[in-house]
Structures are given as C-alpha cells and as structure tokens.
Amino acid sequence: MRTMGLDVGTKTVGIAISDALGWTAQGIETIRIDEDAGDFGLERIGELVAEYEVNRFVVGFPKNMNNTVGPRGEASERYGALLEETFGFPVTLWDERLTTMAAERTLIEADVSRKKRKSVIDKMAAIMILQGFLDSNNR
C-alpha cells in the first residue's frame, strides 16, 4: 500500500505518491479545483487511490512562521477531514512551511523556465511534503 501526498492550494492540488516500500515520493499530477463551486478534485483523487492502491494521505499544513494556523492552514484541515470522510483512510497534516519556496528554488536551480515552473510547482511541493513525511517515518 502507498501514501499519497497532497499540496492543497486555492485553485490546484499537487499530488505525489510513495513507492510501495514507503521510501521515495514521486510527483503524479496537479489537479484543478474550484473551492467556490465545491469541486475539490475528489473524483480524480479516488481514481488515483484505486490505481496506486493508496491507504493513507499526507496533506501539507501551511502554518505561519510563528506556529499559528491561518486561513490556508484551516482550509488544509478541512480538506484533510474531507479526504478522511470520503475515503476512510488516515490523514496526517504535515508542516509544510517554506515547502513551496524550496520547490521553486529547486526548479530555478534546475533551470526550469518560469512557464514550466508554474505548471509543476504544486506537484513538486507535494513531493517535498510527502518525502519529508516518509523520511521522518524511516529514521
């Protein structure tokens, strides 16, 4: 069974999946969502859960630098609760402070164009969130 990592934004959700042994995270795709319309990408996530035999979720939890939880953190908590309610699998909220900036820096260092960075940044952030979780569990 595998773990799915999600970087939840206002318009997209980056998706990463662990390997079967739970050692490495691979980016899968970025799903478009529409919070206002109540479209959270759950249908596509369900397809990926079945395809990759997922049994756990790790959702990026964007805390403020002073360790408080702001509006985006609350949105991630709600998204995690929705995943747990929909799929019945455990959800771990994973501190993702600075993950998107680290993903951006990595892509810049790899000389990825600005246009291409915009299309893969959420998936890259999901990889970093999931890899951090996997590394902490494999110590």
CATH number at residue 83: 3.30.420.140
Question: What pLDDT shows up at residue 119?
Answer: 63
Gyration radius from the chain CA atoms = 14
Question: What pLDDT shows up at residue 57?
Answer: 98
Asked if residues 29 and 15 have their Cβ atoms less than 8 Å apart, the reply is yes
CA–CA separation, 89 vs 36, rounded Å?
25
Q: Is residue 102 predicted with pLDDT exceeding 80?
A: no
CA–CA separation, 92 vs 41, rounded Å?
19
pLDDT digits 0-9 by tens, 33-85 = 998 888 999 999 999 999 999 999 999 998 877 888 888 889 999 999 999 99
Q: What mean pLDDT value characterizes the chain?
A: 88
Pick the residue with more confidence: 128 or 100?
128
The four Cα atoms 99, 75, 71, 107 give a dihedral, to 10 degrees, of: 20
What is residue 63's three-state secondary structure?
Answer: strand
pLDDT digits 0-9 by tens, 6-38 = 999 889 999 999 999 999 999 999 999 998 888
**Count of domains observed in the chain:** 1
- The boundaries of the domain holding residue 114 are 2-137
pTM above 0.85, yes or no: yes
